[in-house]
């Protein structure tokens, strides 16, 4: 099954199958890439200051230092103008991200990296299915990694993979992968429960009931969470972190990826409706020049009172996303443990205080409901 799935991924991304490597989670793929690039104690890896904590974690697990660069307000990606100042003699890798499904300025970053002889990685965990400069996201860096976690472009419950363009790094990744540990029987079983729930019970109409059930099962440890407590509370590598993918993930991935194009169309269509409405009311919206490359895993919206906005949305049964409620989501305390100083990254810090994500993978009726909700609460939405 793995073989069939990696072949399908390779076909979709127009790469060779030998470049595709499956893992238990996307973060594990990142860890393998960094290791293959020789990242070790004393090295620095540059990342955007608006990401998921598992990204700096993978760097810290290798004894290296994450170095953050603030983001642009318009696209939530690294501000290239601030990149050069972050590069030091210890920098080894620059990581770019396609936040919410949008790649921007990748070529500029790659050009800077080439000049300095640094490696580049694209975090495509939001952007599988999107494009940048005519090619699939992830095509321009030495390597890219992807996630198929519950909320990502397509899902295997949890899961991830890398695609390695640099052939030297690819052979190193192959050698490193020999050290992967197999997921335990219990882990695979609980993932199976989660996937079954999703397949058979999770439809738009019973989303809220399913969410309650999911939360209940999580509390009883009957589903595998996407992050363990220790990944959010500290910077030590969890035991058996370097985990291989299970056959089950490949099986679900194969089916889900086959349906992705339809989902992508739906996301884009929904996003266009949001843009139109927000623009008409002079509220913040995703700029039209970014729309072409945007795969809209999420539609970012800035609001004035986020807690209130979430409360009202839940009452209206609209499922908002919360990426990111922290510059290193979802960590809310002791950010200095991850080497993060909020004062230095005002744009990302502000975004983490007032951004919400509108759902995009929804049918026309559900989209209308969101549009009505937005119109009813324009006073809570930040002006354009």
Contact between 147 and ligand PLP (CB under 6 A)? yes
Q: Report CA-CA distances (Å) from 51 to 63, 100, 114, 116, 261.
A: 19, 11, 24, 24, 26
> Whose Cβ is closer to ligand PLP: residue 330's or residue 380's?
330
Query: Which segments of the chain does DSSP mark as H helices, in order?
Result: 2-13, 26-36, 54-61, 83-86, 106-116, 167-177, 185-201, 207-219, 229-233, 247-258, 260-280, 288-291, 306-315, 346-354, 364-376
Does residue 51 touch ligand PLP according to CB under 6 A?
A: yes
Is the C-alpha dihedral spanning 94, 167, 293, 207 positive or negative?
Answer: negative
CB of 31: closest distance to ligand PLP in angstroms?
10
* Residue 55 within binding range of ligand PLP, rule CB under 6 A: yes
Q: In the complex with ligand PLP, which residue's Cβ is closer, 128 or 373?
A: 128
Q: Which of 182/311 has CB closer to ligand PLP? A: 182
For the CB of residue 204, give the shortest distance to ligand PLP in the complex, in Å. Answer: 22
Q: How far is the CB of 137 from ligand PLP (least distance, A)?
A: 13
Closest approach of Cβ 104 to ligand PLP, in Å?
A: 15
Asked if 123 interacts with ligand PLP (CB under 6 A), we say: yes
Task: List residues bridging with 160 in a β-sheet.
Answer: 23, 147
CB 252, CB 149: distance < 8 Å = no
* 12 vs 371, beta carbon nearer ligand PLP: 12
- Judged by CB, which is closer to ligand PLP: 136, or 159? 159
Select from 33, 52, 223, 351 the one that contacts ligand PLP (CB under 6 A): 52
The interface with ligand PLP within residues 213-232 (CB under 6 A) comprises 226
| From 97, 249, 275, 326, residue interacting with ligand PLP (rule: CB under 6 A) | 97
Task: Please pick, from the candidates 27, 172, 302, 306, the single residue that binds ligand PLP as defined by CB under 6 A.
Answer: 27
26 lies in the site for ligand PLP, by CB under 6 A: yes
Closer to ligand PLP by Cβ: residue 145 or 309: 145
Distance between CA atoms of residues 277 and 292, nearest Å: 18
The encoded tokens of residue 328 equal 């290193």
Question: What whole-number distance in Å separates Cα of residue 92 and Cα of residue 64?
Answer: 10
| Between 26 and 136, CB nearer to ligand PLP | 26
Q: Please, are residues 308 and 356 in contact by the beta-carbon 8 Å criterion?
A: no
Q: Does 56 bind ligand PLP (CB under 6 A)?
A: no
The tally of CA atoms less than 13 A away on the side-chain side of residue 216 is: 7
Taking the complex as a whole, the smallest distance from the CB of residue 374 to ligand PLP amounts, in Å, to 24
Collapsing DSSP to helix, strand or coil, 273 comes out as helix
- Residue 299: strand, helix, or coil: strand
The C-alpha atoms of residue 309 and residue 380 are separated, in whole angstroms, by 7
Residues 156-185 contacting ligand PLP, CB under 6 A: 160
Give me the phi and psi of 277, to 5 degrees please.
-65, -45
Q: How far is the CB of 151 from ligand PLP (least distance, A)?
A: 7
d(Cα 22, Cα 20) in Å, to the nearest integer? 7
For ligand PLP, which stretch binds (CB under 6 A), given 11-19, 120-128, 205-213, 357-365? 120-128
Q: Which residues bind ligand PLP (CB under 6 A)?
A: 25-27, 51-52, 54-55, 97, 123, 125-126, 147, 149, 160, 226
């Amino acid at each position: 099954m793995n073989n069939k799935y990696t072949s399908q991924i390779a076909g979709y991304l127009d790469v060779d199958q030998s470049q595709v490597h499956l893992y238990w989670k996307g973060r594990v793929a990142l860890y393998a890439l960094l290791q293959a690039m020789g990242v070790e104690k004393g090295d620095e890896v540059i990342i955007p200051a608006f990401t998921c904590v598992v990204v700096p974690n993978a760097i810290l697990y290798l004894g290296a230092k994450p170095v953050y660069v603030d983001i642009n307000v318009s696209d939530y990606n690294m501000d290239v103008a601030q990149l050069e100042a972050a590069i030091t003699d210890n920098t080894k890798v620059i990581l770019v991200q396609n936040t919410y499904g949008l790649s921007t300025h990748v070529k500029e970053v790659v050009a800077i990296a080439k000049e300095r002889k640094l490696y580049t990685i694209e975090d495509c965990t939001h952007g599988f299915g999107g494009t940048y400069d005519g090619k699939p996201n992830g095509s321009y860096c030495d390597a890219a990694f992807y996630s198929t976690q519950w909320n990502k472009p397509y899902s295997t419950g949890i899961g991830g993979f890398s695609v390695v363009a640099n052939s030297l790094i690819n052979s190193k990744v192959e050698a490193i992968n020999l050290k992967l540990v197999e997921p335990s029987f219990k882990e695979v079983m609980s993932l199976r429960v989660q996937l079954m729930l999703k397949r058979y019970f999770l439809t738009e109409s019973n989303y809220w009931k399913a969410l309650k059930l999911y939360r209940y099962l999580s509390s009883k440890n009957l589903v595998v969470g996407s992050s363990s407590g220790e990944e959010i509370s500290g910077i030590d590598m969890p035991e058996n972190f370097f985990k291989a993918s299970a056959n089950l993930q490949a099986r679900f991935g194969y089916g889900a990826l086959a349906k992705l194009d339809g989902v992508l169309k739906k996301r884009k269509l929904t996003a266009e409706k949001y843009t139109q409405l927000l623009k008409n009311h002079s509220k913040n919206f995703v700029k039209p020049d970014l729309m072409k490359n945007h795969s809209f895993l999420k539609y970012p919206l800035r609001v004035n009172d986020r807690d209130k906005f979430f409360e009202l949305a839940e009452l209206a049964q609209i499922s908002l996303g919360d990426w990111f409620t922290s510059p290193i989501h979802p960590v809310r305390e002791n950010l200095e443990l991850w080497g993060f100083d909020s004062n230095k990254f005002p744009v990302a810090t502000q975004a983490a205080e007032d951004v919400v994500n509108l759902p995009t993978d929804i049918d026309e009726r559900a989209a209308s409901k969101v549009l009505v909700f937005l119109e009813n609460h324009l006073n809570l939405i930040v002006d354009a």
